[in-house]
Copies of this chain bind each other. A is one copy, B any other.
Amino acid sequence: MQAELDDLKNRLAEVDDVENAAALLEWDQLVMMPPGGAEGRADQTATLQKIAHEKLVAPEVGRLLDSLSRELRDRPAEDDDASLVRVAARRYERKRKIPAELVAEMYQATALGLQIWAEARAKNDFPHFLPALERIVDIKQRVAACFPETESPYDALLDDYEPGMLTHQVAAMFEELKGTLLPLVKAITARPPVDDSALRRDYPEARQLEFSLNIVRQFGYDFNRGRQDLAVHPFCTSFSTGDVRITTRVLRNYLPTCLMGSMHECGHALYDQGYPDRFRRSPLAYGASLGIHESQSRLWENLVGRSRGFWEFFYPLLQAAFPENLDAVDVDVFYRAINRVHPSYIRVEADEVTYNLHTLLRYEMEVALIEGRLAPKDAPEAWNAKYKTYFGQDVPEDRLGVLQDTHWGGGLIGYFPTYTIGNLVAAQFFAKAMADEPGLRDDFKQGEFGRLLGWLRQNVHAHGRKYLPADLVERVTGQPLSAKPYLAYLKQKFGELYRL
């Protein structure tokens, strides 16, 4: 059995090497590559993805997984080797069911789709994007059809990003959110608007970057195992726990983009820097799901970075960095500005309260598209109608509506719910951390985050991808995934802020 286990581990380690090399190709493309490199890079990425896929679904891997699943069936769920086999077998089963030609077709369609989407968004021209969207929806429906056992075809897509999560659970989650969020938004927008002009002054880029580096260093991001660069669309990526990179973007006239964006990506990075060394070169050295990953980024961005305590420590430093803008602005005004609730067209600019209405809108459209109840050509109309319902206003152009996000052009259908799952899980984890470590929030006032990071390392990061996200949440908090801690957090924080 040990020989089989070693054989499997070596094979999975090579898959991991190739996937990490492909991740570096992508980082380089988005951060460093000169424009002329695009054609060659597309070939290189496609070849590495093909090799990783072939190595993962090799019949010998299937045989090893079968045999080892039987051998290890009596081990506890916590056991490293049993977890490795369980996680790898789940991935193997999924990948194996999708024919290689369909995978290739999808890569091709989404590479093209991303390009056409970018053109269409620039020109505000949905009809230009439509054929690409139709093709991608069709391919995704065929991918879903590879899993005929699912209740909704959307289940099959969701599982790529949030393993084990089902469409009806997502529907119930959004229903519960809607019940609280819609009245909360209504109540807030009835209050006098918050002045956030302090955030919209002239903030030289270099000083913003320097300040953001200081924050993420203080959070515990290890620059010996990472670096921060500029990117058009900020992201976090990693090639091992020893090399976890974040990117950010800076707007000279809007402070939160760089500051809050850096904290967000740092949250992802702290997770990726936190897997145990013994998981290296294995499928366990990853986050449990996109939702759990997002819980880490949202936790640091919102529950820490938009908290009163955090700014008690950092605001005087921010004033010292930008005295010309902030000397006359007191911390309360700033705290209210950075937490302003304001219905916006663009999801990535949304505040904590309205954010989930954006993901709800996309989720409802995605399910309808995949279940065949909505034709891609009718997407703009459906989008605009839903937007009117949830935000009470009209969408002036598709660029601010259906064309705003890259996901559908890139084939990422089933992804949006993970953003909201992330918000929920962040609040649920944070509530548990505060219960375990009383006074945790007071640490922030001293610029001290080690106790929070330590709690996350021990309770969340240490498990890597061992457990399904729902199991992890239950293991960490003793409760199933729930919207309650999140809604309680929102009502308390924004009730106070808006004196509701």
Contact = CB atoms under 8 A, between A and B. Distances in A.
Interface stretch (A10-18, A65-73, A393-401): A10-18
A40 to B, nearest CB: 3
A34 to B, nearest CB: 5
A18 B32 contact: no
A443 interface: no
A407 interface: no
Nearest to A51: B51
Interface stretch (A211-219, A236-244, A327-335): A236-244
Contacts of A36: 222, 224-226, 240-243
B32 A227 contact: yes
Nearest to A18: B47
A242 B25 contact: no
Nearest to A281: B43
Interface string A272-286: 000000001100000
A281 B32 CA distance: 21
A39 B227 contact: no
A41 interface: yes
Contact of A243 (B22, B41, B48): B41
B281 A41 contact: no
Interface string A44-57: 10111011000000
Interface in A13-31: 13-14, 17-18, 20-22, 24-25, 28
B48 A242 contact: no
Interface class of chain A by DSSP: helix
Nearest to A48: B21
A242 B38 contact: yes
B242 A37 contact: yes
B48 A18 contact: yes
Nearest to A23: B44
Given A25-B21, A44-B20, A35 B240 contact: no
A68 to B, nearest CB: 22
B39 A242 contact: yes
A33 interface: yes
B224 A17 contact: no
B33 A243 contact: yes
Contacts of A245: 34
A36 B224 CA distance: 6
A34 B223 contact: yes
Contacts of A227: 32, 34
Contacts of A43: 13, 17, 281
Given A39-B242, A242-B36, A28 B18 contact: no
A13 to B, nearest CB: 7
Interface string A333-355: 00000000000000000000000
Contact of A44 (B21, B34, B40, B226): B21
B223 A39 contact: no
Given A34-B223, A37-B242, 14 more contacts: A17-B48, A18-B44, A20-B44, A21-B22, A21-B25, A21-B48, A32-B32, A36-B226, A36-B240, A36-B243, A37-B240, A37-B243, A40-B241, A41-B240
Interface of A: 13-14, 17-18, 20-22, 24-25, 28, 32-41, 43-44, 46-48, 50-51, 222-227, 239-243, 245, 280-281
29 contacts: A14-B51, A17-B43, A17-B44, A17-B47, A20-B40, A21-B47, A21-B48, A24-B24, A24-B44, A32-B32, A34-B223, A34-B227, A34-B243, A34-B245, A35-B224, A36-B224, A36-B226, A36-B240, A36-B241, A36-B242, A36-B243, A37-B243, A39-B242, A40-B243, A40-B280, A40-B281, A41-B243, A43-B281, A51-B51
